[in-house]
Amino acid sequence: MTYVIGKECIDCGAGEEVCSEVAIFPARRARGNAKWEQFTTDNAEFFTVTLPGRDTPLGAPGGAGGLGPVGADTALVTSWDA
């Protein structure tokens, strides 16, 4: 799973253009749609909850390039069948 760092996203739409699965969308587009809202909530939690195997939440890590693979996911993602 790839997560978007909400505090660092400038809402330029570039992520939407490169994602052929339409899995990246602005949070404002999810408002009022419970199915999509769960994903915006889950995306935010990735950075604010302490993930399995970590001591603290990720917070705003300053971009994915410096962070690299985290090796953990949120409860929503880990609940899916492989």
Question: What pLDDT, on a 0 to 100 scale, did the predictor assign at position 2?
Answer: 79
Q: How many domains does the chain have?
A: 1
Mind listing the pLDDT tens digit for each residue in 42-52? 999 999 999 99
Answer whether residue 33 is part of any domain: yes
Kindly tell me if the per-residue pLDDT of 67 is higher than 90.
no
The H or E element containing residue 19 is none
The parent domain of residue 41 ranges over 14-78
Answer whether residue 4 is part of any domain: no
Q: How confident is the model at residue 66 (pLDDT cuts 50, 70, 90)?
A: confident
Q: What is the mean pLDDT of residues 22-31?
A: 80
Question: How many angstroms separate the CA atoms of 50 and 48, rounded?
Answer: 7
Do 61 and 67 meet the contact criterion of CB atoms below 8 Å apart? yes
Answer whether residue 22 is part of any domain: yes
Kindly tell me if the per-residue pLDDT of 69 is higher than 90.
no
Question: What pLDDT, on a 0 to 100 scale, did the predictor assign at position 57?
Answer: 93
Answer whether residue 71 is part of any domain: yes
Question: How many angstroms separate the CA atoms of 48 and 55, rounded?
Answer: 12
The full DSSP string for 3-31 is ---TTT----SHHHHH-TTS----HHHHT
Averaged pLDDT score across all residues of the chain: 85
Answer whether residue 3 is part of any domain: no
Number of H helices, E strands in the chain: 5, 0
